Structure 1
């Protein structure tokens, strides 16, 4: 988690407004009005109070990749910033109520003790739950509020009422439950976004299909319910990355079936086991997916890693397995999947 601080919190650490302005040119990043994130551990000792928790391993540096993943990082930071603001407001309200020595009966009815009207939802809730966002689909923080449906520059407010059993408190604020989040994302976004989240949640044992279906049956909303069932049908806990999940969705969209994910071969001559992303026995075809990270590694890929890749592919080809690699960019083009479909269809 990133180190997020409000202006008030930074001032309490002994920084002036001028110090904050200077720190913004160094290790401090402005997320929104009055909210900042610590980018990294700098060399200035006077900034230690800002980044000490990063150095100690409690928080993480503000990671930047130099590619489209930065859009997701930016959104994640914006969500965390809004959480921080909400948490700080609740803390101040609670302190004010305590200082006033309010009557216990009145205190029980106070806003700080009631569920908040605003609930983080959809992609924002997914980020809070630690689910992967395969690629950028929105730059807006998404929340649900009763009877309000508006889009602002940085926030998308969806008009709905989330029942109490479909929300929980995370990071001091209200968020749709994991199961409700997965359902909402499946309703609102493309299947590859939803399936990559479902694959991750199922693989990590965070939920089950049964729990998701139970939550779905409790939803008043019926719009796009078929999309939710489709995403669940396509989900598979064996897949290990969003790129593999996207590929699986593309197989379905192009009418390609018969692929099994994460199959292992015993390669005695290599003194190791070879695990492939997708395996099609009838077509004697192996499909390997290069995630977004490999797209930007370039010459930075270690030579021994490239050599291992070359040897394992040659081992497969020597045994009459055809190997097709799909790059990140090719996941969003039809040509590679048309080629795979031709190979699979030729064996029927």
Structure 2
């Protein structure tokens, strides 16, 4: 796979160890030489042009915020921002240029460092963007380990009234157990399916941990990446794993990154169909009943 496509599936940023299963060293070097990807520091590859954001900060006199701040921290995102995200003081005039602009009162530390704090960044994204985009940011922040869910809950509760309910919802549902935006976005789809209650990294005896599990209905949702499935050993592991799941009476639904990112309605429809049938079975109705 081309390193650009691999990085996109990995959330826009990856270490060499995360990237190499999708591609090879030569492809990575060629992508770097062609400036199609960047390496802002040791063992960090990304799609974002961090320098462009820093130049935008300098030109506007603002502070990197929202998705641009998340990129600065090296967090994995559902999608890169199309323009640098900049927050300006409330009294500042609108600068010329192609920016995603916001106005807010920032701390002296945020202004001095030219980037909003981690907690503020998560809350800003939760207030400004769709749930799946914001949850990807929040999950990435928790995986980093510098902020925890209590930080997010407090930040959400103290945030401005506009968008506060969205921020509280994201803070409550954020989890470091989801490995990447792929899993975060699959969860975001699943939570909208009536009757389904999934937990991340559910443990199944003989199978191990699965991406999302509804224990009551016996439904497993897997976010399937090429990383683990392109070898003979990977194929055998899959066969053993999902045969064991079937022997336990579980229904496994497997979705690709393209399914989740580009066909969320179809993914939700497939999950809803299985939830309906499993619910009918759970109450003792025949699976072919009208």
Q: Provide the TM-score with structure 2 as the length reference.
A: 0.72
Which of 102, 127, 140 does residue 158 from structure 1 map onto?
102
Q: Aligned to 2:191, what secondary structure does the other structure show?
A: helix
Distance in 1 separating the partners of 2:199 and 2:241: 19
Aligned residues: 246
> Residue 222 of structure 1 aligns with which residue?
161
Distance in 2 separating the partners of 1:275 and 1:26: 34
Deviation of the 1:196 alpha carbon: 1.7
Task: Note the residue ranges of structure 2 that are not aligned, 5 or more in a row.
Answer: 1-29, 284-290
TM-superposition CA deviations, 1:140-173 (whole Å, max 9, x none): 01111123346733x22323332336x265xxx4
Distance in 1 separating the partners of 2:73 and 2:256: 28
Distance in 2 separating the partners of 1:38 and 1:127: 12
Cα distance change, pair 229–193 in 1 and its aligned pair in 2 (3 A): same
Task: Note the residue ranges of structure 1 that are not aligned, 5 or more in a row.
Answer: 1-24, 32-36, 40-53, 64-72, 90-115, 268-272
- 2:185 pairs with 1:246: yes
Q: Aligned to 2:172, what secondary structure does the other structure show?
A: helix
Question: Is the Cα contact below 8 Å between 1:280 and 1:286 reproduced in 2?
Answer: yes
TM-superposition CA deviations, 1:249-297 (whole Å, max 9, x none): 1122222432222122342xxxxx622112222222222122xx53xx7
> Residue 145 of structure 1 aligns with which residue?
88
Deviation of the 1:26 alpha carbon: 9.9
Which of 111, 117, 120 does residue 180 from structure 1 map onto?
120
> Residue 202 of structure 1 aligns with which residue?
142
**Higher RCO, Cα 8 Å, sep 6+:** 2
- 2:245 pairs with 1:316: yes
- 2:57 pairs with 1:122: no
Deviation of the 1:208 alpha carbon: 1.9
For the aligned residue pairs, the C-alpha RMSD in angstroms reads: 3.3
Distance in 1 separating the partners of 2:157 and 2:68: 23
TM-superposition CA deviations, 1:39-84 (whole Å, max 9, x none): 7xxxxxxxxxxxxxx9xxx635866xxxxxxxxx1xx21x334427
Q: Provide the TM-score with structure 1 as the length reference.
A: 0.61
